[in-house]
């Protein structure tokens, strides 16, 4: 006798008829599960699989179906459509045609689901080992248009004259290449969202000037709409804004440029550098080796400068109080300007020392209008 039946019969107030009714309700309960592969149960104490919707067979066939008609399941909870994308990616399942058709037909029902629930499910998808199949499912069913319309907008058409890489395919490849950390994966997902708005054609080629600036702004708007916490939004926006910086390294960076790069990245440096390595999805092996060598060289220079100075805590050699006491003035715009000047000198030349910093402050102050 199943364990739940044994327990219920031991109670004087439960009849055999009620026990049978509860047993029948197991199938009803399983019918309310998301998919057949998790609509199974195990009777105890003698193990017996309860599988009224053939979930075991679907699991063996790597097939994703709903216990009831998909229209019924998705109307009951539209978030299941988004959850299907995660199951596709996480468990390597192929959605059956009826499920896919129902997502296409009912995707607008996602509007009744709270932003917080959608955010949490998107985050779960991004944190599976390889989210690629799930992201493609969101794009191809147009489900992403209901909460992340930027995804399909990156599906730039190939122009017969101005050919270029499909930005969506590149983006999904970058997400797959990055390590499964939420901030890193979100930054990979959003890093090129500014390209559709900045695309232009000239001289037989395509360009996306300042797409990192536009993309950072779009990223913040979308992440706030999805109710991500402020600290996660700030970190992802910064990574999107900085993701092109490495490409100017080929032009030759001074020590000042390296210091500024580290300072701008601050505590996100360990996320920024690996993400930029993952941004290389080209099949051109020579180009890939060049980009990898460039990152190796930059990281070596960062390590070298770290040995010479406190590179991770770059700040002016003097603080605001010291500036005010030395110049004999109170708080005001001049203090901020003085600190900005000293920071630029610090980035340019490295640590000055207190005596030299005061000398540079005096020289700068002599050139300023004292209104």
Q: Which long-range contacts (CB under 8 A, 24 or more apart) does 161-170 make?
A: 161/204, 162/201, 162/204, 162/205, 162/206, 164/206, 167/192, 167/195, 167/196, 168/139, 170/281
The CATH number of 150-313 is: 1.10.3210
pTM of the prediction? 0.74
- Per-residue pLDDT of 248-279, as tens digits, reads 766 677 777 888 787 777 777 787 777 777 76
Q: Where in the chain is the domain with CATH 1.10.3210?
A: 150-313
Q: Where in the chain is the domain with CATH 1.10.110.30?
A: 3-146
Count of other CB atoms within 10 angstroms of residue 84: 29
- Per-residue pLDDT of 300-310, as tens digits, reads 887 877 766 65
Domain 3-146 belongs in CATH node 1.10.110.30: yes
Max distance between CA atoms of the chain, in angstroms, equals: 97
Structure token pair of residue 192: 């090129």
Most confident segment among 12-21, 29-38, 95-104, 289-298: 95-104
> What whole-number distance in Å separates Cα of residue 58 and Cα of residue 41?
15
Identify the pLDDT of residue 60: 95
């Amino acid at each position: 006798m199943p364990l739940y039946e044994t327990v219920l019969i031991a109670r004087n107030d439960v009849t055999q008829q009620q026990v049978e009714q509860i047993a029948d309700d197991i199938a009803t309960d399983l019918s309310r599960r998301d998919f057949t592969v998790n609509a199974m149960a195990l009777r105890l104490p003698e193990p017996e699989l309860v599988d009224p919707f053939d979930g075991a067979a679907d699991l063996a066939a790597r097939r994703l179906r709903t216990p009831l008609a998909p229209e019924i399941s998705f109307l009951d909870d539209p978030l299941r459509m988004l959850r299907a994308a995660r199951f596709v990616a996480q468990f390597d399942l192929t959605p059956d045609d009826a499920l896919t058709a129902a997502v296409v037909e009912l995707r607008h029902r996602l509007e009744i689901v709270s932003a917080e629930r959608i955010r949490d499910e998107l985050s779960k998808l991004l944190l599976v080992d390889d989210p690629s199949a799930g992201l493609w499912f969101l794009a191809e069913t147009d489900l992403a248009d209901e909460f992340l319309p930027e995804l399909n907008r990156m599906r730039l058409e190939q122009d017969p004259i101005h050919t270029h890489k499909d930005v969506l395919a590149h983006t999904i490849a970058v997400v797959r290449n990055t390590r499964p950390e939420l901030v890193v994966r979100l930054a990979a997902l959003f890093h090129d969202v500014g390209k559709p708005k900045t695309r232009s054609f000239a001289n037989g080629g395509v360009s996306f000037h300042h797409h990192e600036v536009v993309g950072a702004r779009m990223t913040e708007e979308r992440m706030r709409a999805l109710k991500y916490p402020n600290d996660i939004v700030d970190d992802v926006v910064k990574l999107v804004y900085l993701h092109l910086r490495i490409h100017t390294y080929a032009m030759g960076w001074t020590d000042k440029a390296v210091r500024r790069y580290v300072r701008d990245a601050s505590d996100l440096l360990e996320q920024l550098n690996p993400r930029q390595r993952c941004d290389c999805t080209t099949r051109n092996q020579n180009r890939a080796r060049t980009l990898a060598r460039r990152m190796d060289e930059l990281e070596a220079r960062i390590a070298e400068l770290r040995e010479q100075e406190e590179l991770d805590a770059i700040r002016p050699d003097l603080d605001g109080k010291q500036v005010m006491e030395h110049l004999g003035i109170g708080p005001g715009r001049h203090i901020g300007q003085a600190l900005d000047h000293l920071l630029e000198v610090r980035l340019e030349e490295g640590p000055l020392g207190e005596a030299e910093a005061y000398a540079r402050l005096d020289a700068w102050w002599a050139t300023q209008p004292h209104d």
